Amino acid sequence: MNATPEDASVIAQRLHLAAGFHSSERDWVVDRLAALGSRLRSYRDDEIELEISLKDRKGVEQRVMLQCWINHGHRLHLVATSSQRELPAALNEVRDELIRQVGETKTRTEPRSNRALRSVPTPPE
């Protein structure tokens, strides 16, 4: 996925490295997640929070978790996880999953905003 410097900037500003990551890895992680920035640019910076954590680094049960909170009308919490053994592959997997989830939330339609779905037909007698 191609990411622009603006995409990386969105991630760099909002990403918090939690347990398992070293501060020296921040730039590398931001570069890996930069493609997510294009999905998040439609929200204001103060509406987005990102946190990534790593459990059991290089262990059998290594797990990467990327969480995203979006405060846009209501607080939305999205979570993507990966159990990939290779850290670069795990970061790519959580990034792609979160891109999918953000895309779904942007295109989700609710019955209250669609007259056809709100109309309940009367059952025949």
Residue appearing with tokens 């020296």: 24
What's domain 5-108's superfamily in CATH?
Answer: Ribosome hibernation promotion factor-like (3.30.160.100)
Residue appearing with tokens 């905003």: 113
pLDDT in tens, 14-50: 889 998 888 999 999 999 999 998 888 888 878 889 9
Beta bridge partners, 71, equal 75
Is the CA virtual torsion 99, 100, 101, 104 positive or negative?
positive
Residue appearing with tokens 């290594």: 62
The helix-helix angle for 26-33 and 5-14 (nearest 10°) equals: 120
pLDDT in tens, 112-121: 555 565 556 6
DSSP H or E segment with residue 43: none
